[in-house]
Amino acid sequence: MHTNIIEQKGMINMKTPFIDKAKAEEIAAQFPTPFHVYDEKGIRQRARDLNNAFSWNKGYREYFAVKATPNPFILKILKEEGCGVDCSSLTELMLSDCCGFSGEDIMFSSNVTPKEDYLKARELGAFINLDDFTHIEFLDKLCGIPENICCRYNPGGSFAIESQIMDTPGEAKYGFTEEQLFEGFRILKEKGAKHFGIHAFLASNTVSNAYYPQLARILFDLAVRLHKEVGVDIKFVNLSGGVGIGYRPDDEQNDIFAIGEGVRQAFEEIMVPAGLGNAAIFTELGRYMLAPFGHLVTKCIHQKHIYKEYIGVDATACDLMRPAMYGAYHHITVLGKENEPCDHKYDVTGSLCENNDKFAIDRMLPEINIGDILAIHDSGAHGYAMGYNYNGRLRHAEILLHEDGTFDMIRRAETPKDYFATFDFCDILDKYTK
């Protein structure tokens, strides 16, 4: 009886992988596990839904947060869907440049910004989003103040939605205080800036349709006051990232149309009456755009029976860091066993010499055999991107699954030569670098 209820609940809220066992085996025959696979169809549909949800705003644009999935083939898909890019470093700017993004296609939202990063952003004509008051002078001395400029706002204190604290901006390193923002806009205007943007990122991975509308109210109020008191043209309001996804099967998922409508209402109430109805809404979503459309695909290579039951897989925290770093839940499907009962309790682990290298702890799964292929869900954002080489582990390939079921490699796997490449200035490792 009890199991029945769980099974039923599981059926309603099941997380279904976008590949089946046959497809995973077909890919693995060419590109051995572990690999990341991305669902092109899902990515395009999500971009279209987002653009539709904000189509009421003339200048609306999503600037995809490159750091979430810094792959040129993914960026090109998003470009075709009308998105720009949000960069925060020199190499992200270089990558975006090579993918054909330029000028107002690029939002440069960095912090603790090195000189060369600002110079590249300026060269590409990107929107520059200043993180701090002192960066006004830093940028001015370096390369002058551009006509378009944006500043990041930090309201301090804590940020609550319906009296539930979502995050504490007062503890965050980002942004200008309100006083600095007013003073900063005055100075920027004096220095020749003509069109202004404001930006804030107050809570991460929110699963609430109220986050963006509430953030929008804060920024719209601020925009109206800046417009009146400093007399600046407000060109855009950048709601940044933070719209999340439900990682657990029974988590709520955001409704992007409800979110777009909530922002529209705030815009009509606050911006339009103040004469700011022409301002554009920008977003810089990363996780929401990509996370559900990536799976880390890995094979069971060992089983261990000690005080607990362990499933050893060929991926490690180097391939997906979130569980080890944040204790984050990532759903796991044993491919080909989607309909079998989850009656075995396992820890699913990688091979790092770190006990936190576990993709799941005490997870109820179907019986797993050596050779079974596991799909780890929701790894399309902040997955490969946060990868690293600890324990000499090599980074895996990325595969793009097209709408017609064909697939292409969009990043090759590393080889030992890549791992040793930074020793190519000396001869010690010639055996492996030459």
Q: Binder to ligand PLP among 146, 213, 242, 246 (CB under 6 A)?
A: 242
Q: What type of residue sits at position 268?
A: E
- Shortest separation between residue 131's beta carbon and ligand PLP, angstroms: 9
Q: Does 385 bind ligand PLP (CB under 6 A)?
A: no
Q: Does 288 bind ligand PLP (CB under 6 A)?
A: yes
The C-alpha atoms of residue 314 and residue 319 are separated, in whole angstroms, by 10
Contact 105, 75 (CB under 8 A): no
Q: Binder to ligand PLP among 35, 201, 247, 329 (CB under 6 A)?
A: 201
Contact 66, 94 (CB under 8 A): no
Near ligand PLP in 352-381, by CB under 6 A: 381
Contact 199, 150 (CB under 8 A): yes
Contact 148, 121 (CB under 8 A): no
Q: Does 321 bind ligand PLP (CB under 6 A)?
A: no
Residue 250 token pair: 């029974």
Of the pair 114, 231, the CB lying nearest ligand PLP is at 114
Alpha helices (H) in 147-205, listed in sequence order? 178-190
Residue 294 token pair: 């990536």
Q: Of the listed pieces 62-70, 259-267, 296-304, 320-328, which binds ligand PLP according to CB under 6 A? A: 62-70
Q: Does 281 bind ligand PLP (CB under 6 A)?
A: no
Per DSSP, 270 falls in state I
Q: Does 135 bind ligand PLP (CB under 6 A)?
A: no
Q: Does 67 bind ligand PLP (CB under 6 A)?
A: yes
Point out the residue whose Cβ comes nearest to ligand PLP: 241
Q: Does 74 bind ligand PLP (CB under 6 A)?
A: no
Of the pair 86, 372, the CB lying nearest ligand PLP is at 86
Q: Does 181 bind ligand PLP (CB under 6 A)?
A: no
Q: What is the largest CA-CA distance in the chain?
A: 72
CA distances from 431 to 77, 347, 419, 423, 434 (A): 40, 38, 13, 11, 6
191 backbone φψ class: left, alpha, beta (φ>0; ψ -120 to 50)? alpha
Contact 106, 150 (CB under 8 A): no
Q: Any bridge partners for residue 198, and if so which?
A: 151, 237
- Shortest separation between residue 113's beta carbon and ligand PLP, angstroms: 12
Q: Binder to ligand PLP among 241, 246, 260, 262 (CB under 6 A)?
A: 241
Of the pair 17, 286, the CB lying nearest ligand PLP is at 286
Of the pair 366, 380, the CB lying nearest ligand PLP is at 380
Q: Does 211 bind ligand PLP (CB under 6 A)?
A: no
Q: Does 131 bind ligand PLP (CB under 6 A)?
A: no
Q: What type of residue sits at position 122?
A: R
Contact positions vs ligand PLP (CB under 6 A): 65, 67-68, 86, 88, 109, 201, 204-205, 240-242, 284-288, 381
